[in-house]
Amino acid sequence: MHLVMDIVLISIIMFSVFSNFYGLPGNSILALSSLVYGLTTGFESFSFSFILTLFGIVVVLELLEFLLIYFTAKKYGSSKWGISGAIIGGIVGAISGAFVTPIMGAIIGSISGVFLGAFLLEFINTTNVKDSFFSGLGAFLGKLGGLSIKVIGGVTMAVMVASRII
């Protein structure tokens, strides 16, 4: 039975790491699946404090991604409108991109959606193309940095979990 649970958890871990590219909460899925695994196995491989550490890492990674997008967009002159547009655009872009091309479409859609969302809402607010472009550029760069941090954090969490069950 443990072998089946181990295979299921490893599969979920792999899905979780890749789902970060789609704008899905992959790291949260990884932490939750580890909690379920711990509960079903009587915490033989994971201690409860280990599970709490995973959830703490998830919170820090999500906060870092948000702050990186926010401060990078601000540095490039974005207003609250541009930042709101970046968030909305990233979500809409990831969802619509996934319908076009399931793997790369979501990634490209999310990243381009952040730029376009920030650009469009900033343009609506200021009607200045140059300022709107830089708002979109800042949000784009912040999204790339935030995505990188989330993926690196997800891989780190995956290695932490896998090393305890293998």
Over the stretch 109-144, which tens digit does the pLDDT of each residue have? 888 999 999 999 999 998 899 999 999 999 999 989
Residues of the chain with pLDDT under 50: none
Question: What is the model's pLDDT at position 57?
Answer: 96
d(CA 81, CA 61): 24
pLDDT of residue 119: 95
Domain range for 111: 2-165
H/E stretch holding 97 reads helix 80-100
Q: What is the DSSP letter of 27?
A: H
Give me the pLDDT at residue 141, please.
Answer: 94
Count of domains forming the chain = 1
Tokens encoding 60: 């820090």
**pLDDT at residue 1 in the model:** 61
Closest by Cα among 155, 159, 162 to 18: 155
0.75 cut: is pTM over it? yes
